[in-house]
């Protein structure tokens, strides 16, 4: 396809599809039918647009789309899903905090540290069982710059980075629905907390020190944590 035809095809895509291409993200609230329209639009992208500058951002088709499909399958007739997707990556301005100096000892002359926080996916769905499901996925990267002098008096610079990911899920139960302790504990890498009140909430969280290696593994981790709160009620419905 010539670039004019690709540009015309891009203009005909779903508005949120265009936002992913041009702004690398969006925030929107829609019922399941509108999200299905977006998914259909995204699946047509590869066959109509080949130009690199208009490529979909990473994590779109292999992570964002499967998670949206899974949650939409559990929305009620009037339920909506709110999605905030920021797929610009960790290196854009505003995501990295200020550098701070670290205490050092010879032969290290100086060292600084800065954290990059990237909350790239947030979802809130009103499920058919009356509960509300909220999901947050955040990548954090620690960057260190180290200056040291070797025994020959030569100064060297070294950079280190370490990335981890946090997945947090909250399920707000329908009014007056009791919580229920499951017969088996959650996986050791998932922590669970039940918040009591007139409308109980079950919170599940996980910190991944090893980043998922591909989209399928990322989706599996998100949905595994999202499923855990459903084991803490008498009847497991919805996404579980």
SS3 33: helix
The 8-class DSSP code of residue 60 comes to I
Q: Where are the chain's structural domains?
A: 3-232
CA distance 234 to 75: 20
> Over the stretch 184-195, which tens digit does the pLDDT of each residue have?
999 999 999 998
Q: Tokens representing 104?
A: 């050092």
Q: For the ranges 22-31, 189-198, 207-216, which has the lowest average pLDDT?
A: 189-198
pLDDT above 50 for 240: no
Cα(10)–Cα(6) distance, integer angstroms: 6
Q: Who wins on pLDDT, 228 or 234?
A: 228
pLDDT tens profile 61-109:
999 999 999 999 999 888 999 999 999 999 999 999 999 998 988 888 8
Phi-psi bin for 236: left (phi > 0), alpha (psi -120 to 50), beta? beta
Please state, in angstroms and rounded to a whole number, the distance separating the CA atoms of residues 228 and 226: 6
Relative to beta strand 25-31, strand 132-149 is: unpaired
pLDDT at 191: 97
Q: What are phi and psi of 63, to 5 degrees?
A: -125, -60
- pLDDT tens per residue, range 125-153: 999 999 999 999 999 999 999 998 887 77
């Amino acid at each position: 396809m010539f670039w004019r035809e690709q540009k015309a095809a891009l203009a005909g895509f779903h508005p949120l599809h265009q936002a992913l291409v041009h702004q690398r993200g969006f925030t929107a609230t829609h019922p399941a039918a509108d999200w299905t329209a977006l998914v259909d639009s995204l699946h047509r992208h590869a066959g109509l647009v080949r130009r690199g500058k208009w490529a979909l951002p990473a994590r779109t088709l292999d992570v964002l789309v499967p998670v949206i499909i899974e949650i939409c399958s559990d929305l009620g007739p009037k339920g909506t899903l709110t999605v905030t997707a920021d797929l610009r990556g960790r290196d854009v301005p505003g995501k990295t905090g200020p550098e701070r100096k670290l205490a050092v000892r010879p032969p290290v002359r100086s060292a600084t540290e800065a954290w990059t926080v990237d909350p790239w996916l947030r979802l809130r769905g009103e499920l058919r069982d009356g509960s509300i499901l909220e999901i947050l996925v955040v990548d954090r990267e620690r960057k260190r710059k180290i200056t040291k002098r070797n025994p020959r008096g030569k100064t060297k610079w070294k950079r280190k980075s370490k990335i981890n990911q946090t997945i947090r899920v909250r399920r707000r139960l329908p009014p007056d629905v009791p919580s229920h302790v499951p017969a088996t504990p959650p996986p050791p890498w998932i922590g669970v907390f039940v918040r009591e009140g007139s409308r109980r909430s079950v919170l599940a969280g996980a910190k991944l020190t090893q980043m998922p290696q591909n989209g399928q593994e990322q989706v599996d981790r998100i949905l595994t944590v999202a499923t855990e709160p459903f084991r803490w009620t008498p009847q497991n419905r919805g996404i579980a």
